[in-house]
Amino acid sequence: MISIRPIQTVPDQVFRQLGWEYFISNEAENYLSTDMVQIDAAQQDTYAEAANTLYDIMVQTGEYILQKNLLRELGIPANMHELIRITWEDERNLHLFGRFDFAGGTSGLPVKMLEFNADTPTSLPETAIIQWAQLEANSIAQDKQFNFVYEALIEQFRRLRQLNPGREAAILFSTLRGAPEDDHNVALLREAAGEAGFETAFAYVDEVVFSDINGIFAPGDVNKQPLQFPFWFKLVPWEYIAFDEPELCTMLTQMIKRGQAVVLNPAYTLMFQSKAFLKYMWDLFPDHPLLLETSLEEPIGRSNYPFVQKVIFGREGSNVTVYDDIGLPLEVRGGEYGDQACVFQAYAQLDRDDTGQYYQAGVFFAYEACGLGFRRGEGRIMDDGAQFLGHTVV
Amino acid sequence: MAPFKNFSKNPSWHNRLRRGSMYIAVATMLAACGSDNNQNGGDWEQVTVTEPVKGVITTIEETSDGQFAIVDEQVVENKNDSRIIVKRLSGVTDTLNLDQAKSLVQASDTTLVQSQNHNNHNNGMGRVLWWGAMGYMMGRGFGSPVQSNVYRSGATAFQSGSNASTELKKTAVTRTQLRPVKGRSGFFRNSSRGGGAGA
């Protein structure tokens, strides 16, 4: 059983001052738990080592995918293929950060990789800052938490500058309109980029001006002309760009090819993002203790039950079905991605508490494993109703 | 093929001190709930970037098959008069305009190779143009100087590039005048992707 302790919450005023109103809004009611997970130092190391090992495996698998021309098998549309190859081979396109979702790691359960959110990972403010503020608010020593997410992001932005000599350090951040939690994630990234010496700006993606001759521009207001930004961080998934806005996909390919813009996270992270990638990780590293067997075909035979069916570009638990040990649906979540291809992943046991709730760990990776947070839900599928829990290392 | 290897094999985050300003800000807020310490930025208007007003005529010479060196760079009054004169080994001379030249520059050309002196064999047309004064016409920042190894050896070629670079920089204006001619916006304006992109 997982170990948790109750905590004093961070005062609302802090969220208001940070401009992170979403966390104290009705929409996010109960999102931030009043409990904290307690892990020990060995468990912390296990999570960190798992993420570091898996990222290496992912890079090797990515290389294999490109050598064997398997992008189509990952469900990646053809208009992304060139951009993925270009960015993969050009180190200026630094992968800033991603988040592994893990089952296990506590109560003696083995750590198993569920997926890797490589392109547009969120829950940055709660992992990097809010759970740290929970330490402060509860008079717990600072070193009692595996959380260097913010520092690691600053280091990554510095690295990004070093990898792009001769490119002006000005970065534009964008989200899709209407998702305040995404805006807060980007606000934190903006802060980290600023500390690394970047000039920063924000514009919703629909306001950004793209020119395949001149590059990427933030809109001007009444008195201002647009400003060009050599770096663009978009909290907009690459597959949305490829499927919904193919013209933008073409323009970005031209710009990136000509070196006029660096777009983050890089296009190659779409490979890592595809859940079909998990099948190839398993193929290359069969029976690896951190991996779950994953297949593109529905498993047959009891020895392969229970298992989980997921769509390849699903988010927040949408379109996921958990099948039990006789192959019958145990938990089903619908969603907007039902028309996508599916993968079938062996079921991994999630840790639980004394009320029967399920826990999943999120480990951030930014050049290396750099922080941990937890999600808690009533069911096995963590959706947007799952709570966030900070942690402390005891 | 050399894929990116920018991740650590020697993790180092254990027990590091936190020094980021956000921690300090939040700790201050917690300590003195009620103090006015608004973190909201919004200062992107202060970014000053520059673009050239004048143009450049660059003459390049083929030194061996597919390899080039700049022999001369001269500033011209009008950006649109920028030209690249290519003298090939075969004796043929071509003239390219700026847009034609831009299409020759590949992403890999714009990566600065550290050991410049040993890399003359890599000077394709795109790389040579990007790292000369012509590079400023193609979007390279003025903070990045012209690279001597893309010029023909001897003082005169590099001197012409340095002079052109100085002149372009001196006469450049802030990039607020560079309204994109073919710019498009409004992507995802009517998007059905509600509820954000988070994962």
User: Over the stretch A18-73, which tens digit does the pLDDT of each residue have?
Assistant: 999 999 999 898 999 999 999 999 999 999 999 999 999 999 999 999 999 999 99
| Average pLDDT rounded to a whole number, residues B51-60 | 92
Instruction: For residue A375, report the phi and psi dihedrals to the nearest 5 degrees.
Output: -120, 145
pTM for the full predicted model: 0.73
Nearest to B18 by CA among A138, A147, A158, A51: A147
> With an 8 Å Cβ cutoff, are A205 and B27 in contact?
no
Establish if A303 belongs to a structural domain.
Answer: no
Six-digit token pair at B52?
A: 């050239």
B113 pLDDT band, cuts 50/70/90, is low
Stronger pLDDT, A308 or A384, i.e. the higher one? A308
Q: Return the number of other C-beta atoms located less than 10 Å from residue A329's C-beta.
A: 10
Establish if A78 belongs to a structural domain.
Answer: yes
**Domain of A116, in residue numbers:** 3-292+348-393
3 state DSSP class of A234 = strand
B123 pLDDT band, cuts 50/70/90, is confident
Nearest to A39 by CA among A101, A99, A108, A103: A108
Establish if A321 belongs to a structural domain.
Answer: no
Establish if A169 belongs to a structural domain.
Answer: yes
Establish if A299 belongs to a structural domain.
Answer: no
Helix runs in A233-311, H state only = 238-244, 246-257, 269-273, 277-284
Q: For residue range A362-380, list pLDDT tens digits in order.
A: 999 999 999 999 999 999 9
Report how far residue A193's alpha carbon sits from residue A6's, in angstroms, rounded to the nearest whole number.
Answer: 34
Establish if A154 belongs to a structural domain.
Answer: yes
Establish if A339 belongs to a structural domain.
Answer: no
What is the pLDDT at residue A223?
53
Report how far residue A180's alpha carbon sits from residue A43's, in angstroms, rounded to the nearest whole number.
Answer: 33
Is pLDDT above 60 for B20? yes
What is the pLDDT at residue B172?
85
| Average pLDDT rounded to a whole number, residues A144-148 | 95
Question: Using CB atoms, which residue from B1, B39, B143 is nearest to A166?
Answer: B143
Q: How many domains does chain A contain in total?
A: 1
Encoded amino acid at A179, one letter:
A
Stronger pLDDT, A190 or B47, i.e. the higher one? A190
What is the pLDDT at residue A112?
98
Six-digit token pair at A154?
A: 């600053």
Start-to-end Cα distance in chain B: 31
Establish if A378 belongs to a structural domain.
Answer: yes
Q: Is A385 left (phi over 0), alpha (psi -120 to 50) or beta?
A: alpha
Nearest to A123 by CA among A142, A149, A105, A151: A149
* Orientation angle between helical segments A81-88 and A246-257, nearest 10 degrees: 30
What is the pLDDT at residue A301?
79
Residues of chain A neighbouring B110 (CB-CB closer than 8 A): 166, 259
> With an 8 Å Cβ cutoff, are A230 and B141 in contact?
yes
> Average model confidence (pLDDT) for chain B?
76
Mind telling me how many Å the CA of B108 is from chain A's nearest CA? 7
Stronger pLDDT, A26 or B42, i.e. the higher one? A26
Nearest to A228 by CA among A203, A248, A250, A194: A203
- Mutate: best of B33, B47, B103, B112, partner A, most A CBs <10 A: B47
Is pLDDT above 60 for B34? no
Partner residues linked to A373 by β-bridges: A362
Look up tokens 């607020």; give the residue: B176
| Average pLDDT rounded to a whole number, residues B176-197 | 65
